[in-house]
Amino acid sequence: MASRLPLSQPVRFGLAAVVLFWVGCDQNPPVPDPIPPTYVDVLQVPDGWTLPEFPEDNGFTDVRWALGRALFFDPRLSIDGAVSCATCHIPERAFAAPEPVTPGALGVVGERNAATLTNAVYQPHFMSEGGVPTLEMQVLVPLQEPSEMAHNIVTVCEELAEDYAIQSEAAYGRALDPFVMTRALATFQRSLISGDAPWDRWQRGEPVAAEVEAGAALFGGEGLGCDRCHTPPLFTTHGFANNGLEAVSVDPGRWRLTGEPSDSGAFKIPTLRNIGFTAPYMHDGRFSTLEEVVDHYATGGAGHAHQDSLLAPFTLSSGERTELLAFLSALNDTAFVLDERWQP
C-alpha cells in the first residue's frame, strides 16, 4: 500500500533557498487548477515512509511532473540531439545504465558510472562527491557537462520553448526557461520512489524464502555489519567512504571537492535498492556482477591509507554466499522498473 502526497499543497524544503542565481529567484509560481485527472497517482509513498519534501518554489503538481517526464526523455537536451536524461538513467535499469561509463553527446566518454535515481527525493546531496545540495541544481551538471549533454541551458530552453509552451505555462505560469526546466526535471525525479521489493513485503508481514532471512542475518549487525553503511529502509546512510578499491586512488573522489586528504578516494555510499538492475557496480563500473562485489569486500580492501575502518576481511561458505545474494535480490522492486509512469 502507498500513500499519496496532497497534490495541491507544496511541502516546505529546508534547502529551497539554495539555487543558482541565474536559474531564477522568482516568487512561488501559481499552482494550476484544476489538475488533470490522468496523473492523480503519480506520486506514491510506501506506508510508513515519511512524505518527501519539496522546495518552497517547486511544490508538487501533476502537470509539473508531466512536463518533467517529457523533458527527461527528450534527447534534444543534448547538443547533438542524441542523449536524453534517460540515456544514462534507463527506467528498466532502475534509472541506471548497463555500461561502466555511459557515452555522452558527440560520443565523448566520461569517468563515472551513472548512479541510480531510485529514491532520489530522500537524498540530501547529489553527485559522487556530494557537492550538489538539490535536484534543481543537479540538473545543471549533466546538461552542461562536456562529457554528458554538452549543452547550454539558456540555449536549449530557447530551442524548445515553442514545443513546450503550453505545458510550461500550465505548470509554472511562464515560458520554458532555466527556472522551469530545472524544476520540472527535479519534480519528475522526486517521484521515482521504490519501496515494494520482497524485502519490504517481508517487513509488512508477508513470508519470504528461508535463504533471504538467512541472508538478512548475514548482512546485518550480527553478521557482516553491512547495514552500518547500507542502513534500511533506504539501504544507505547517505555518507561517504573509501571502500578500498585501490591502494592509491586513481579518482580523487570527494577529496576533489573538500581538499581534505582523508576524503581521498571516498565516494557517496550508494543505495542497495534495486541492486540487481543497476550493474555494473562502483563509481567506475569496474565490477560486472554482485559476486565480484562480494569478492572485493571479502578481501578487506586494497589497503588505501584512508580506507574506511569498518572494512575487514571475511570468509563465506558457498551456502552463505548464496544466502547473502538472495537477500540482495530481495531488494529488487520489479514493479518499480516496469512502472508505466516512468515510460516516455
Tens digit of pLDDT for each residue in 138-193? 999 999 999 999 999 999 999 999 999 999 999 999 999 999 999 999 999 999 99
State the Cα–Cα distance between residues 198 and 177, nearest whole angstrom.
42
The confidence score (pLDDT) of residue 202 equals: 98
Query: Residue 27 — pLDDT band, cuts 50, 70, 90?
Result: very low
The confidence score (pLDDT) of residue 16 equals: 33
Does residue 91 carry a pLDDT above 80? Answer: yes
Last residue within a domain, chosen from 163, 193, 223: 193
Residues 220 and 322 grouped into a single domain: yes
Query: Hunting for cell 520489479 — which residue is that?
Result: 334
Residues 84 and 112 grouped into a single domain: yes
Span between the terminal Cα atoms of the chain, in Å: 25
- Mean pLDDT within 227-235: 97
Neighbouring residues of 281: CB distance < 8 A, sequence distance ≥ 6: 113, 287, 288, 290, 292, 293
Residues 71 and 52 grouped into a single domain: yes
Residues 162 and 256 grouped into a single domain: no
pTM for this prediction: 0.88
For residue 220, give Cα distances in angstroms to 204, 242, 271, 295.
Answer: 18, 20, 15, 18
Going 167 to 171 to 175 to 179, the CA torsion angle's sign is negative
Neighbouring residues of 82: CB distance < 8 A, sequence distance ≥ 6: 75, 105
Among 18-22, 120-124, 239-243, 293-297, the range scoring the smallest mean pLDDT is 18-22
Residue-wise over 102-127: b if at least 16 C-beta within 10 A, else e? Answer: bbbbeeeebebbbbbbbbbbbbeebb
Query: How does the average pLDDT of the chain come out, rounded?
Result: 89
State the Cα–Cα distance between residues 77 and 149, nearest whole angstrom.
7
The confidence score (pLDDT) of residue 7 equals: 37
Residues 119 and 183 grouped into a single domain: yes
| Pairing verdict, β 44-46 and 267-268 | unpaired
Structural domain harbouring 222: 198-336
Residues 102 and 228 grouped into a single domain: no
Last residue within a domain, chosen from 193, 225, 241: 193
Tens digit of pLDDT for each residue in 52-88? 889 999 999 999 999 999 999 999 999 999 999 999 9
Query: Residue 19 — pLDDT band, cuts 50, 70, 90?
Result: very low
Residue 344 placed within a domain: no
Residues 187 and 58 grouped into a single domain: yes
Query: Residue 200 — pLDDT band, cuts 50, 70, 90?
Result: very high
Query: Residue 2 — pLDDT band, cuts 50, 70, 90?
Result: low
Residues 13 and 156 grouped into a single domain: yes
Tens digit of pLDDT for each residue in 204-216? 999 999 999 999 9
- CATH number of 76's domain: 1.10.760.10
